[in-house]
A and B are shown apart, each in its own frame.
Chain A
Amino acid sequence: MAAAAPAALTGDARRPGQHTWLHSMVRWLFIAVSLTFLAAVLLAPLATVFAMAFERGLQAYLRSFADPDTAAAIRLTLTTALVVVPINTMFGLAAAWAIAKFEFRGKSILITLIDLPLAISPVISGMIFVLLFGLHGWFGVWLREHDLSIIFALPGIMLATMFVTFPYVARELIPLMQQLGNAEEEAAITLGAGGWMTFFRVTLPKIRWGLVYGVVLCNARAMGEFGAVSVVSGHIRGLTNTMPLHIEILYNEYNFVGAFAVASLLTLLAALTLVVKTLVERTGYRRR
């Protein structure tokens, strides 16, 4: 039924050798295999998040957010993202300006180093801060003498999150700014505009969609980071538990409605991130 009509429209059918019996067999086989694979591995888990969250009805779902520990976890995650994302955005803008606007030696090494956190296991990303600031770490004694705590406290969570989400804005902006070139900025400077004015009036409008996606992705990863934060947090309920860590605790206590209710919020955040990505790509700016 639907098979004949769209095929004629796409232009596939007009190509030689594209309308044979074998071809349409392969075509439907590929589509069926793709959809089955994605349904089992991706769609079923996504649907489960909401099915489990609403297992006992809407009332139970909403009640799980009234739990003070859950509310504290949400607050902590928001606070962390509120600090980490702007800092990493500033870094991303600076790195992209330095790398895309200038030619200097060792540039490819710098790019590789910025990407480094992506290649490192999140557990190692957390561990390095424990080695530095933990009780038996390098600065552990000094920190205790001065009554400061980084590990098992908010600063450690922020540091680990910053490390893990460090490259996202920069990675989004560097290829975009390289592709757009320097001609307009050079014209602005030659005509007498200052550096900041050139950045805000010429560069920023050009890169704004890439910047939006980079920030949104950085935020999603910051709010969802588990491994690195798990190592530095100490899992103190109501104090150092972020949303993903709180999911783990609720799940291990067999409080499935609570665990999946928090998970449903993070799933919605991920979905929102993808919506932003799709909208950004629709503006004509192509990634990769």
Chain B
Amino acid sequence: MSFRQPSVLPGFGLTFGFTTFFLSVIVLLPLAALVLAAASMHWSEFVHVVLSPRALGSYRLSFGASFLAATINLVFGFIIAWTLVRYEFPGRKLIDALIDMPFALPTAVSGIALTTVFAHNGWIGRYLEPLGVKVAYTWLGVTLALTLISMPFAVRAVQPALLEVQRDLEEAAETLGAHRFYVFRHIILPTVLPALLTGFTLAFARALGEYGSVIFIAGNLPMKTEITPLLIVIHLEEFDYQGAAALGVVMLVISFVVLLAINLLQTWGRRRHVRGAR
């Protein structure tokens, strides 16, 4: 079997060559440099950096806050997607367009704006402060920033799946006397479950690597409100390239695992969809 199937269209050599060349120079070679830099460390050194108390503290915050943000988006993402797909209300189209705002907005802008709103004298922060809830400069602020920047991924993953729910099935169930909750549990949820999980994982992956919006609201205290990407930057600023590379490789491996999970979830979702259509 040859490398590619024959086609009358020209330009394969040119475009494929340019694509792979550019991809290698801009993406793959620099990433290989990262892996090699970490590989040149002695393994005891590597473990020392990667499992230092400060690094462990940053993993705890990065993973905990990202997981919490993705969970919040799982719930609110579903509610927002449902509202946008199923209900008609004034301003629906505007809200639908605004969902992508955190995606288009620079993270530094999200960061300073969120910090201002949730600071002790901010629009929302001033009402939370008397209740004893401090958001800015705590782990709660980190979670909030991660929730904002990963929100579009959760909503946009669920929206198309909700459109595909077969409403005649819902109606049939209801005419046969099924309760609304029963319909949700047995017809709607199974259809959107792969999309919900994909949205959760996408949001989690996006939150894990986030830097710009978090550093403004976090306070950045070692062990307490210091995320892993910030710890990498601190290593770099001290010219400790190897330490930074070691932490970078840890994050890279985790990103790959999450990416793999997303691909598996999407394959699972497609397979369920095909089987359901038969």
Nearest chain-B residue to A49 (Cβ)? B113
Are A251 and B112 also in contact (CB < 8 A) when A123-B233, A195-B11 are?
yes
B104: Cβ under 8 A from any A Cβ: yes
Contact B104 A274, beta carbon cutoff 8 Å: yes
Are A190 and B8 also in contact (CB < 8 A) when A224-B109, A227-B107 are?
yes
Query: How far does the alpha carbon of A17 sit from the alpha carbon of B169 in the complex, in Å?
Result: 13
Contact B5 A231, beta carbon cutoff 8 Å: no
B67-117 residues with Cβ-Cβ distance < 8 A to A are 76, 79-80, 82-84, 86-90, 95, 97-98, 100-102, 104-110, 112-114, 116-117
A98: Cβ under 8 A from any B Cβ: yes
In the complex, which of the residues B100, B106, B232, B245 contacts A266, with contact meaning CB atoms closer than 8 Å? B106
Query: How far does the alpha carbon of A27 sit from the alpha carbon of B82 in the complex, in Å?
Result: 10
Taking CB atoms, residues of chain B closer than 8 Å to A138 are 33
Q: Which residue among A52, A227, A277 has the maximum number of chain B CB atoms within 10 Å of its CB?
A: A227
In the complex, which of the residues B87, B109, B205, B241 contacts A131, with contact meaning CB atoms closer than 8 Å? B241
Contact B12 A98, beta carbon cutoff 8 Å: yes
Contact B106 A270, beta carbon cutoff 8 Å: yes
Contact A220 B104, beta carbon cutoff 8 Å: yes
Contact A131 B33, beta carbon cutoff 8 Å: yes
Query: How far does the alpha carbon of A271 sit from the alpha carbon of B106 in the complex, in Å?
Result: 11
Query: How far does the alpha carbon of A110 sit from the alpha carbon of B148 in the complex, in Å?
Result: 31
What size tier do the contact residues of chain A reach? 35 or more
Contact A94 B19, beta carbon cutoff 8 Å: yes
Are A98 and B15 also in contact (CB < 8 A) when A45-B114, A124-B251, A244-B109 are?
yes
A83: Cβ under 8 A from any B Cβ: no
Taking CB atoms, residues of chain B closer than 8 Å to A217 are 104
Query: How far does the alpha carbon of A30 sit from the alpha carbon of B89 in the complex, in Å?
Result: 11
In the complex, which of the residues B12, B105, B114 contacts A224, with contact meaning CB atoms closer than 8 Å? B105
Taking CB atoms, residues of chain B closer than 8 Å to A45 are 110, 113-114, 116-117, 148
In the complex, which of the residues B5, B27, B83, B167 contacts A103, with contact meaning CB atoms closer than 8 Å? B5
Are A119 and B233 also in contact (CB < 8 A) when A31-B83, A101-B9, A217-B104 are?
no
Taking CB atoms, residues of chain B closer than 8 Å to A257 are none
Taking CB atoms, residues of chain B closer than 8 Å to A12 are 86-88
Contact B255 A15, beta carbon cutoff 8 Å: no
Taking CB atoms, residues of chain A closer than 8 Å to B15 are 93-95, 97-98
A130: Cβ under 8 A from any B Cβ: yes
Contact B236 A124, beta carbon cutoff 8 Å: no
Are A231 and B109 also in contact (CB < 8 A) when A124-B252, A226-B211 are?
no
Q: Which residue among B15, B28, B97, B156 has the maximum number of chain A CB atoms within 10 Å of its CB?
A: B15
Contact A259 B112, beta carbon cutoff 8 Å: yes
Are A270 and B151 also in contact (CB < 8 A) when A16-B175, A45-B117 are?
no
Contact A23 B259, beta carbon cutoff 8 Å: no
Nearest chain-A residue to B11 (Cβ)? A195
A128: Cβ under 8 A from any B Cβ: yes
Could you mark each residue 86-119 of chain A with 1 if its beta carbon is under 8 Å from any beta carbon of chain B, else 0?
A: 0000110111011101111100001011101101
Contact B9 A224, beta carbon cutoff 8 Å: no
B34: Cβ under 8 A from any A Cβ: yes
Nearest chain-B residue to A106 (Cβ)? B3
**Chain B residues engaging chain A, CB cutoff 8 angstroms:** 1, 3-5, 7-12, 14-16, 18-20, 22-23, 26-28, 30-31, 33-34, 37, 76, 79-80, 82-84, 86-90, 95, 97-98, 100-102, 104-110, 112-114, 116-117, 122-124, 144, 147-148, 151, 156, 160, 167, 171, 174-175, 180, 205, 208-212, 216, 229-230, 232-233, 236, 239, 241, 244-245, 248, 251-252, 255-256, 258-259, 263
**Chain A residues engaging chain B, CB cutoff 8 angstroms:** 2, 6-7, 9-10, 12, 15-17, 22-23, 26-27, 30-31, 33-35, 37-38, 40-46, 48-49, 52, 90-91, 93-95, 97-99, 101-105, 110, 112-114, 116-117, 119-124, 127-132, 134-138, 159, 162-163, 166, 182, 185-186, 189-190, 194-195, 198-199, 217, 220-221, 223-227, 230-231, 243-245, 247-248, 251, 256, 259-260, 263, 266-267, 269-271, 273-275, 277-278, 288
Q: Lowest 6 A-B CB distances belong to which pairs?
A: A224-B106, A121-B209, A104-B4, A45-B113, A226-B212, A227-B211
Add 14 more A-B contacts to A121-B209, A123-B233 (CB < 8 A).
Answer: A45-B116, A94-B22, A99-B19, A119-B255, A124-B251, A129-B30, A131-B30, A138-B33, A163-B30, A182-B9, A220-B104, A227-B211, A269-B104, A274-B104
Q: Return 16 A-B CB contacts under 8 Å, by A number.
A: A16-B174, A41-B147, A41-B151, A91-B22, A110-B20, A113-B28, A119-B258, A121-B232, A128-B248, A132-B33, A186-B8, A217-B104, A224-B104, A244-B109, A271-B101, A278-B97
